[in-house]
Structure 1
Amino acid sequence: MAEKPEAVQVLYCSVCSLPAEYCEFGPDFEKCKPWLIKNAPQIYPHLLTETNEKEADKVSSQLQSVGLSSGETSSSKEEVKRLPGGKIKNKDKQEVVIEKVVRNKRKCITIVKGLDLFGIKLSDASKRLGKKFATGASVVKGPTEKEQIDVQGDISYDIVEFITDTWPAVPESAIYFIEDGKKVAAA
């Protein structure tokens, strides 16, 4: 009689849920690397040497960008937050972002984010927007857990002028639109 073949044990990545051999083709290989180094170093042995070199380079570049030598430490690490690609996230940047979202192929919602950074109460702002444009407007928590104003309808044509007239603290240069996934200045 023929022997029954033995089942193959496959190691699945807990980050992207692909087999470990296919993580490099997955949606975000950078997030999978720490898991792979810890749980499957035999599959990607080159990651071990790359991470040691990259970590040393990253620490030295971060220290230089903050203005410290390798011997000094500072509590300003919390103030400087690096995004993927080496960009620095500035917490003090004040800007209003306006985004139009289409739902049900016809209806639009205009989302206004960032008015609270200029000291404007969002509840008052939503009331004024609702009255001005004769629509429903409400303050909701967005996907990033920050509060934003959702206004029913496409009001992006007049909203920049309304914001700058109603709240002089908001300059027109600080207002941006999200168009096709890109941030575009309103001015």
Structure 2
Amino acid sequence: MAEKLRPAVVLYCAVCSLPAEYCEFGPDFEKCKPWLIKNAPELYPDLVKEEADRTAEQLGGLEILGGPAKIGGSTSELKVDEEVKTLPGGKVKKKEKPEVLVEKVVRNKRKCVTIVRGLDMFGIKLTDASKKFGKKFASGASVVKGPTEKEQIDVQGDFMYEIVDFITETWKNVPGSSVYFLEDGKKVSAV
């Protein structure tokens, strides 16, 4: 007689509601980590080891363990910095200095896109700023996610120098000393 098939039992994450083995691809993996360590340690052994190493570091037990903790084959060093903020789940976030970066990207040899990053650090709504850029320069301007998953404003056209003057005139809380050009991967002061 053939074996009777049974439905698969799937463990769903209580935080993001995805199957536990897919949490790492979800939007809230950092929030899911404590739940996964507690409820599904066999799926993420690296997380369990990382948490154990972090606990040992916090307790000062590195000397007891016989040296620095190994994570992914390399030694981890804990840097002490005044501008470090610890988020829930143990993630460390460095405080960023508020600055506006303006960059020109050439595509198809003729068309340019001016990219503005960092306006949101000064409390400026990016959607409102993109509308003002679009009206001022009579061009398309939109808020998009950049390569670092932070939102930025893309303005169609080469307005690299004009946009700096417009930013400092329109928003008085953005000092000119905080505006930089990105040229060949280097930050150059716009003032």
TM-score by length of 1: 0.56
Paired residue type of 2:142: S
Identity %: 63
The aligned runs of 1:123-138 (5 Å cut-off) are 123-138=127-142
* Residue equivalent to 1:101: 105
Q: Please give the alpha-carbon distance, in whole angstroms, between the structure 1 residues aligned to 2:81 and 2:154.
A: 38
The aligned residue for residue 110 of structure 1 is 114
**Is 2:167 the partner of 1:163?**
yes
> Aligned pair in 2 of structure 1 residues 77, 142: CA closer, same or farther (>3 Å)?
closer
Partner Cα separation in structure 1 for residue 81 and residue 105 of structure 2: 39
Match of 2:86 among 73, 78, 86: 78
> What stretches of structure 1 move > 4 A for 4+ residues in a row?
79-82
Q: Which residue does the alignment assign to 2:26?
A: none
Distance 1:185 1:77, change over 3 A: same
| Structure 2 counterpart SS, 1:102 | strand
Compared with structure 1, are the counterparts of its residues 66 and 103 closer, same or farther at alpha carbon in structure 2 (3 Å cutoff)?
Answer: closer
Q: Deviations over 1:94-141 (max 9, x none)?
A: 000111100000100000001111111111100100111111101111
Shift of 1:55: 4.2
Q: Distance in 1 between matches of 2:134 and 2:157?
A: 10
CA offset digits 1:119-168 (Å, max 9, x no partner): 11111100100111111101111111111100000001211110011000
Q: CA deviation at 1:185?
A: 1.0
Match of 1:25 in 2: none
Shift in alpha-carbon separation, 1:77–1:123, aligned structure 2, 3 A = closer
Which string of whole-angstrom CA distances, capped at 9 and with x for unpartnered residues, describes residues 60-100 of structure 1? Answer: xx3xx459xxxxxxxx6737969xxxxxx433x10001111
8 Å Cα contact 2:85-2:95 kept in structure 1? no
Gaps of 5+ in 2: 1-66
Q: List aligned pairs for 1:1-40, cutoff 5 A.
A: none
| Contact 1:81–1:90 (8 Å) recurs in 2 | no
**2:95 aligns to what?**
90
Q: Structure 1: which 5+ residue stretches go unaligned?
A: 1-49, 68-75, 83-88
